[in-house]
Each structure stands twice: as C-alpha cells, then as structure tokens.
Structure 1
C-alpha cells in the first residue's frame, strides 16, 4: 500500500461563536453530539455540587445576621459592636485561608481538597448551634471562615479550567446565583424555624438554623468526593468521564490558549504575579467590593429600627427576615440576564454591562445618601433592593479575569485568591468604619463613600478594557493571538483499529 496523503477533518471541539438563537440561550446547542454530551455531564457534576456548596455556605453567612435579629443578640447578651466583631472573626479566618488553599488546589486534586474543606466546615457549623457565649461564637466563626476560605475561589478557578469564552460567564452566573438565592432561603427558613422550632428540644430557633445547615452540608461533601471533577490538567478517567472526554476537555482548553497546571512556584514567579497589571487591577476592583454590598445590609436594620420598645411592632420578625429577600432576588435575576447577554449578543464582551451596572450603582448610592433615611417604604426600600447592582457583576468580572489570564493556570489561581483575599480584608474593617452597627441604619457617610468607590470602579474597569484591547492588538501583530497548543497540552494520540493513525492536534484531526 502506498503512502497516504494527509487529509484534514474538523475537530469535535467547537470554539466558534453561537450561530443561532438556541446557541445564545445555551451554548451546547451549536456543538457536536459528543461535545454536547460531555458538557451535559460536566454541568451536571460541577455546577450541581458547586451551586449546592455555595448555597449552603452563603445561607450560613446570612444566617448570622438573621440569627442576630431573631434572638441571638438577647441569648448571648451581645452589645455594642460585638455583632461586627463576630463577622470580622469569620472574615479573618477566611482571609488567612485563601492563598494557601488555592496554592494547594493546583497540586492536590479538587475532588479530594474541596470535600476535605466541606467536612471541616460542616463540623464547626454544627458547633455554632451550641455556642453559649460571645467568645465561643467568636472562636467558632473564625474556624468556619478558615475552612470556607478555599471554596469560592477554588470553584471559579475550576470553572475557568473547563469552559471556553462562550460558556464561562453563564456558568459563573449560575454559580454566583447561589449567593443571591441563599439569603432568600435563609430569610424564609429563619422565619419558619422561629415559628415552628423555637424552643424545641431546648434550642432557640436561631440555633436550629445552624443544625439544619450542617445536616444539609454533610451529604453534599461526601457526594462531592465521588462526583466533583478535577481540572483537565489533573483529571484521570473515572466512572463519570472517559479518557476520550478528558482528551476533549484538554483540546478545548488548548484551542483558547488556556494552559494546565504544572509551572513551578518560586519567590520570583509569585512576585511577577504582583507586578502583572491583570492581577493588580482585578484585585483592586475586588478590594473595593465591600463598599458596593454594604448599603444593602442596612435594609434589615432599617426595618428593625422602625420597631420601638414599648410600642406595637411596625414590622414582625418574619417581615424583617423576608423583605430583604426581594433585593436578593433582584440581584440574582439581573446577574443572570447580564451573563446571558454578555455570552450571547455581546459575543463575550464583558466590559459594557459591567460599566453600565456600576454607573447605575452610583445613582442608587447617591439617592440613599441624600434622601431621608426614614422615608416611606415605597421611597426607601426600592433603593435598598437594587443597591447591589454593581456587586452583581462578580460572575462577569471573574470570567473576564480567567480569559485574560488564560496562559498561566497558577497566576489565574493566585489572582482568584488575591481578589477574594483583599475583598475580605477590606470587609473586615469597612463595616467598622463606615457602616457600624451602632449607627445603623443611619449610615449616610457610608453611602456617600460607596458612590465615590463605584465611580472609581468605572475608571478601573475602563482601564482594564483599554489595556486588554492593546494587548490583543499586540498579539495580533506578533501572530500570537491564537497560539498552537504545545505537545504537553495535547491529548494522547488515539490509534485506530485500522492501519492508519489519528492524532488529535487541538484544532484539527490529522490522518497520517
């Protein structure tokens, strides 16, 4: 048999923009059957366990506020700013655990590391129900924060390791929706527990919420060990993903220039991350994030402040817990619309919606600062409800970061942790300065500061857009815009039953 001339066949891994309205609604509608099946399995495992884990953890985070206004303050005899210090204790643990956790994640498989964090978190969440004093609550919240530290940045890092540009923002948005939905669950859950379980088995209603939180979390942690996928660079064939599907995942990421883990850490390498404009500017954005979320936290205190001692309650405990969930629902819905529009009609551009949302946030914060604090519900409450519109851009911001740092997995993991670390570093002190509990809901100065910071965010996001555009033009001039995958990035050759070899080369399948 003579030597066969090479022929080219399209790869099954698609990287083309959505070509139909169905593709805009859900990207897998425009890909091959094999890739569609792979994405379905990936979504089912990664998004299911990621969203459930995020949901439970943010329920716990919002539970502290709900518990405080539903009996914890009186039971533990909390006074002054002790509520703020309990929040800070969790924040300090969260800050300390960020970078170590993401460094470990690039070396330890995700299906081992994340369930370990989950189980530790569950044990100490149970302990919150038994706290008998302010000091006990302070210490336990610190340890809960320590175990929770790695979860959020780890999930965003893993998502950025599996999905391409037309897919990533939607998945980020679905994951982040748990953050908005959690307080809705928490508010109604706390209201239901207060009515039905308060005093049952000798436990106050607010304590039961932590018990239920732990009960829900434990099976999720156990199932994650068997179902949560590792990154394509570290994944091995198992009962869920075949060798071919892992090869397909690596091929997809090679096509968009996203490199796997494996680069060594050193002091010089880590210093280069600090000097990268991408790491610096995205971290700077998240540093200011607490100013965008704090005005909404005043809503629950605003409702509670209407109830005066010795007078009939204006708002019941149930209403105080339930009304703020309207704001969480708005944030969730707006965020999902934003990521779908960004992935679809805007064809992956992130900055237009991000900048627009921050401009709206400026207007809202200014109105919160200049209008009367105790105006009518119809005047003040809508401002609180939409005040997190700038903060709802987290999924798009994380997607943008992952796409701009596609060529360095370690820097991407480092930057995700840096963004969250600095965010919570500022979260630790901003409420103590600008949004003190003793001043709630009269935090006009904080609302003014939030408006200024939102304006600063617009400038930083615009700077990122300009620098990213310049970098893209430079790569295009240097013919580096879509570099071919290196041999280490390529999937293993697949040998057919016949006498020809088929080698997957990222973009094409070459018959030799």
Structure 2
C-alpha cells in the first residue's frame, strides 16, 4: 500500500509525507523499465498508474490463482500420502473425484461469468474464494469417500470463474500490447501452487503427521484453507472492478480518468449485461471455434505431467519415498514457470503469440514420444514427464492471444474465454478417467498415445489461428477499424510480406 500513495502531491508534500514511499516506487519503476516491463516512451504518470494496477490486480490475482491450484493439487498429494489407505479408496475413485470437481467447475463457469458482468468483480471473486477455502477445509474432516465427492463438487462450483474472471479484469484495464506478460505472470501462480502443494504435503507428512491425532494429509487441507481464506480477505481490499464502474480506492480520480482514456478505442468497455445478439456474433466468427479447440487440445496435453506423474511415482514406491513422490513432480512445475514467463515476454515484445506457442510444442512432442516408447529407462521416462512442463506456456499464450484478437468486443471476449475454459476442462474431466485411470499406473500407454496425437493437432490449430488472425487484421486495417491498431490485432508484418511475395 505504501507505493500506492498518490504521485500528484506537491514537492513539499513529498518531502513531508511521502518522500520515502515515492523513492521506493521510483526505484521500482526504473528497475522494471530497465528490463522492458514498461514500453519505451511511456510517460512517467502512466508508469505510476500501471504500477498501481499491477500491484492490485496481479498480486491478488496471482495469490488467488496460487491457492486455486494449491487446493486442486492437494487432493492428489493427499491420495499418495495416506488418504487412500485411511479412507479405503480403491480402483479409479481418485479419477472420479477429479471428474466430479471438473464437472461442477465447467457446469457453473459460463453462468458465473455472466453473473460477473452484473456485479462488481472486486466483490464476486474474493467471495467465491471464501467458498472454496471452506470446502477445502471440509476435506480435512472427511470420514468417507462420499464426503470427498461433496467437498470437491463445492470446490469446483466456487472456483469456476476465478481464472476467466481475473483474465477478464486484466483485459479490461491494460492495452493489448501489455497483456501477454501479465497473463503469463498471472498464470505462473498455478504451477507455483502445484509446486508448493508438493512441498507442503511433504512437510505436513514429516512434521504434522498425527499431531492432535490428525494424519498429515488432513493437516495439508487445514493449512490450505487457512492460506486461502487469508488471501480472499486480502482481495476485498486491493482487487479492482472493471474501469467503467466505481473508481478503485488506490488510484486518484485523475489516474482513473487516465486509465479509461489510455484504452479508449483499443479495448471495448465491458458491458453490465450481455446483449441480445452476442451469441450470433460469437458463433458467426472463427474465434470461438478455434480458440476453444486450441484450449481443449492444450488441456489434454497438460495431463501427463500432473496427476499421472504422481501416480507413476506412487506405483514405484519401492524406488521413491513419500517425500520424493510429492516433490519430484515439482520439477515439471519449475519448467512451467520459467518457460511461461519467458514466452509471455517474447509475445509482448514481438507481438507474435504463435512463435513461442509453436516453439514450446516440440519439447512436449519429444516427451510424449519417450513415454509412448516407454522402454527408455527410468531416467528417460522421468525426462518424458518433465518435458511436458513446456506445455504450460500455451495457457497464457492462448488466453493472451484470444484477449488481443477480441479486444474490440468485450462481450465476445467474456463468452469465448469462459467457453474455452469450460469446454476444455469438461472434455478433460471425461477423458482423464479413460486415458489415465489410477488403476492403470505406472504405464498409461493409451493416454500417452492420445496426447501425442493432440500435441501434433495443436501445431495445426496454432497455424490456423495465425492465418485467420492475420487475414482479419489486414481486413480491419483496410477498412480503417479502430481495433486494427498494431497493439490490438496481431499482424505479423514479415509474414505479410512473405505472403505477398508468394502471390
């Protein structure tokens, strides 16, 4: 909060009231400018505004997304750390519990995002986080599998629009050329949550097991819930609504006016309700079909490095200890974090979301080939699982690309991004039961083959989106559309020259 003090004070006010705070903020802005976080030539007052937006939107957004994946991953960590044995779980019940979560999550996602257009996002999202924090707490006291099903259903319900809701807010405050790196930064909170869950479960198993008569896996859910509820309370104070509504408490009226002016003509303002022709607009354009397809393929390609990796290690308990089973998958997470952030910066710098999206697909292909081959030794199989971590970059790249392509229609952007997440996750909820059944560990050959196929298909979808967004950008430029600004519609000028030469 200290950096959020107004930068429009007089020099004497700076000396008497905020000089230290202003100096910290100035140093931070200089540091971030030196690494290219702010575009060259951006006025100082605009940098201060962006700094405040980053601190409010990204800090809560990242922490919220962190707890979302912390709570999601914990069910797997608990399963491999004693929950299976204590509750008498058998067969593919873990898969069915996961499917219950995703069924709830996907069913309520689009209605929840519609609800978000009617009510302040800075109230809705933190309130929903309280809900999933309480349902996570309920898992700690489960006495049977039925309780797990019920609690995961409610967790899915309350988490349903945390991702798309935050993306919607990011897309409402920033210029399109600023979105890629921020979506990437927001996204890496999910692998961080996954990674932290592994270390937290290892610590709970080692240090809290049987404290007050509770198993270590139960303590994991208790600690998760405490973290989640604390962060949700924080969100009520710092997270903003969209700029067309009430002014956030941490910026001045002048800065609020600047925030609205800087995106005018570049980003369509979010509406308070969906218009009657929204579905006609959505389904008459290519955006919905290809971005939903791309997201669905990406969700399939995520799978091997998550729950299947943990089940693989669990099946080899003669080689790996409980602590190793919880911590080795965090290597995939570390790869995800580095690659996702790097790709987000490249996308913003070049305006070419497709370039890093294609680049990261090839390591995933190599990883899947290793897993399909299988007889590559223990180190080869571990490498195969770890290489799937490169797929993580496709999530922020795809969502950032969609936000930029649809910058001119906020209603379409809300529906399409919600559909991407809902449909992709709904399909994954069903396919993961068939592809990676817990009873099939350690070799999920059918699942590995199918993911190899969807990874190849992902390359084709990226190229199709590139071609159509390029053609759409040229059409808008030729017709003088305001959304044809270079920052809004990704137009690869070198590709344009190549295509012209080919004609």
**Residue in structure 2 matched with residue 491 of structure 1 by the alignment:** none
Kindly provide the CA deviation profile for residues 399-439 of structure 1, in whole angstroms up to 9, marking residues without a partner as x.
Answer: 11011111111111111110110111112111111111111
Cα contact 1:369–1:447 (8 A) shared by 2: yes
* Separation in structure 2 between the aligned mates of residue 398 and residue 442 of structure 1, nearest angstrom: 32
**Residue in structure 1 matched with residue 455 of structure 2 by the alignment:** 454
* Separation in structure 2 between the aligned mates of residue 39 and residue 80 of structure 1, nearest angstrom: 51
TM-score (normalised: structure 2): 0.87
Instruction: Give, in angstroms, the shift of residue 377 of structure 1.
Output: 3.2
1:53 is aligned to 2:56: no
Compare CA radii of gyration and give the structure with the larger one: 1
Instruction: Give, in angstroms, the shift of residue 81 of structure 1.
Output: 0.8
Cα contact 1:55–1:182 (8 A) shared by 2: yes
Partner of 1:315, secondary structure, is coil
Kindly provide the CA deviation profile for residues 292-323 of structure 1, in whole angstroms up to 9, marking residues without a partner as x.
Answer: 0111132222222223xxxxx32110011111
**Residue in structure 2 matched with residue 318 of structure 1 by the alignment:** 323
Instruction: Give, in angstroms, the shift of residue 23 of structure 1.
Output: 6.1
Question: Structure 1 residues 23 and 475, CA, compared in 2 at 3 Å: closer, same or farther?
Answer: farther
Which range moved further: 21-30 or 237-246? 21-30
Equivalent residues in 2 for 1:91-130, closer than 5 Å: 91-130=102-141
Long gaps (5+) in structure 2:
1-30, 486-503
Question: Structure 1 residues 24 and 400, CA, compared in 2 at 3 Å: closer, same or farther?
Answer: farther
Partner of 2:390, secondary structure, is coil
Question: Structure 1 residues 87 and 239, CA, compared in 2 at 3 Å: closer, same or farther?
Answer: same
Partner of 1:414, secondary structure, is helix
Equivalent residues in 2 for 1:390-409, closer than 5 Å: 390-409=391-410
Cα contact 1:128–1:137 (8 A) shared by 2: yes
Which range moved further: 271-280 or 469-478? 271-280
Return the structure number with greater helix share.
Answer: 2
Supply the RMSD in Å over aligned alpha carbons: 1.9
**Residue in structure 1 matched with residue 341 of structure 2 by the alignment:** 336
Cα contact 2:278–2:411 (8 A) shared by 1: no
Instruction: Give, in angstroms, the shift of residue 21 of structure 1.
Output: 11
Question: Structure 1 residues 483 and 322, CA, compared in 2 at 3 Å: closer, same or farther?
Answer: closer
1:384 is aligned to 2:353: no
Kindly provide the CA deviation profile for residues 317-337 of structure 1, in whole angstroms up to 9, marking residues without a partner as x.
Answer: 001111111111011111111
Kindly provide the CA deviation profile for residues 193-252 of structure 1, in whole angstroms up to 9, marking residues without a partner as x.
Answer: 001111111211101111111111112112211210111122x23430222112111112
* Separation in structure 2 between the aligned mates of residue 483 and residue 106 of structure 1, nearest angstrom: 26
**Residue in structure 2 matched with residue 247 of structure 1 by the alignment:** 257
* Separation in structure 2 between the aligned mates of residue 264 and residue 51 of structure 1, nearest angstrom: 27
Cα contact 1:362–1:452 (8 A) shared by 2: no
* Separation in structure 2 between the aligned mates of residue 122 and residue 294 of structure 1, nearest angstrom: 25
Equivalent residues in 2 for 1:219-238, closer than 5 Å: 219-234=230-245, 236-238=246-248
* Separation in structure 2 between the aligned mates of residue 482 and residue 285 of structure 1, nearest angstrom: 23
Task: Pick from 365, 369, 372 the counterpart of residue 366 of structure 1.
Answer: 369
Task: Pick from 323, 332, 342 the counterpart of residue 327 of structure 1.
Answer: 332
Question: Structure 1 residues 439 and 472, CA, compared in 2 at 3 Å: closer, same or farther?
Answer: same
Equivalent residues in 2 for 1:16-415, closer than 5 Å: 22=33, 25-27=36-38, 30-234=41-245, 236-255=246-265, 257-262=266-271, 264-265=273-274, 268-297=277-306, 298-307=308-317, 313-344=318-349, 346=350, 348-372=351-375, 375-415=376-416
Kindly provide the CA deviation profile for residues 48-96 of structure 1, in whole angstroms up to 9, marking residues without a partner as x.
Answer: 1011111111011110111000001011100011111111111111012
Cα contact 2:405–2:469 (8 A) shared by 1: yes
* Separation in structure 1 between the aligned mates of residue 353 and residue 372 of structure 2, nearest angstrom: 29
TM-score (normalised: structure 1): 0.85
Partner of 1:201, secondary structure, is coil
Cα contact 1:363–1:451 (8 A) shared by 2: no
Cα contact 1:359–1:455 (8 A) shared by 2: no
Question: Structure 1 residues 482 and 89, CA, compared in 2 at 3 Å: closer, same or farther?
Answer: closer
Instruction: Give, in angstroms, the shift of residue 378 of structure 1.
Output: 2.4
Cα contact 1:93–1:143 (8 A) shared by 2: yes
* Separation in structure 1 between the aligned mates of residue 274 and residue 249 of structure 2, nearest angstrom: 32
Question: Structure 1 residues 277 and 129, CA, compared in 2 at 3 Å: closer, same or farther?
Answer: same
Partner of 1:387, secondary structure, is helix
* Separation in structure 2 between the aligned mates of residue 44 and residue 384 of structure 1, nearest angstrom: 34
Kindly provide the CA deviation profile for residues 33-59 of structure 1, in whole angstroms up to 9, marking residues without a partner as x.
Answer: 111111111111111101111111101
* Separation in structure 1 between the aligned mates of residue 69 and residue 83 of structure 2, nearest angstrom: 18
**Residue in structure 1 matched with residue 492 of structure 2 by the alignment:** none
* Separation in structure 2 between the aligned mates of residue 82 and residue 350 of structure 1, nearest angstrom: 39
Question: Structure 1 residues 463 and 301, CA, compared in 2 at 3 Å: closer, same or farther?
Answer: same
Question: Structure 1 residues 483 and 82, CA, compared in 2 at 3 Å: closer, same or farther?
Answer: closer
**Residue in structure 1 matched with residue 421 of structure 2 by the alignment:** 420
1:480 is aligned to 2:481: yes
Cα contact 1:29–1:36 (8 A) shared by 2: no
* Separation in structure 1 between the aligned mates of residue 479 and residue 40 of structure 2, nearest angstrom: 34
Cα contact 2:240–2:248 (8 A) shared by 1: no
